[in-house]
Amino acid sequence: MAAFTTRHQGPSPSPADGEEPLHHRATVPAHPSWAATVRRTVTEHLAGLRLPPEQVDNAVLMADELFVNAVRHASHGPTDTVTVIIDCTEHALRVTVADSSPALPQSPAVVDETAESGRGLTIVTALADDWGVAAPEPGNPGKRVWFTLGRPGVSL
């Protein structure tokens, strides 16, 4: 299995006034066993920011849902990876999940209440201020699925 790689760019967040922007990028194997690592990574990088606990919980849940969707619907082999990018400014938090598949996510579906899966984008739609799909970074295959949350007291 591929190794976990991470790259932190920019200054670390500061809990004091004038908080610095946060940019964190982590690439992990596209395997369900890495979901806990993704949740922990998002939690740890948002911990130093002045976000309400509910907003952190929602961001972790949505990042997890996007990661699981990328693994389930976009992974084709043992060497595939998923990249999670966290960007936080004074105005907004944005989490992006990039995978190597060009297949676009399907609109949130209505699923049977007894179904064990199929609610990922419905959850993201309900909790995010905005979400969407972007082209991959130059030179990479696939797509990027992202969501944003406004920072408390600041409108997007």
Distances, alpha carbon 73 to alpha carbons 9, 25, 44, 81, 141, in Å: 29, 21, 27, 13, 15
**Separate counts of helices (H) and strands (E) for the chain:** 3, 6
Q: What is the pLDDT of residues 130-153, one digit of tens each?
A: 999 999 999 999 999 999 999 876
Q: What is the pLDDT of residue 12?
A: 36
Q: What is the pLDDT of residues 52-78, one digit of tens each?
A: 999 999 999 999 999 999 999 888 888
Helices (H), 47-130: 53-74, 120-127
Q: Is 50 within 8 Å of 150 (Cβ atoms)?
A: no
Q: What is the CA radius of gyration of the chain?
A: 15
Looking at the predicted structure, is the pLDDT value of residue 38 above 80?
yes
Q: What is the pLDDT of residues 64-119, one digit of tens each?
A: 999 999 999 888 888 899 999 999 988 899 999 999 999 888 766 665 565 455 56
Q: Show the tokens assigned to 125.
A: 């739609």
Q: What is the pTM of this model?
A: 0.80
Q: What is the pLDDT of residue 116?
A: 55
The residue behind tokens 């609109």 is: 107
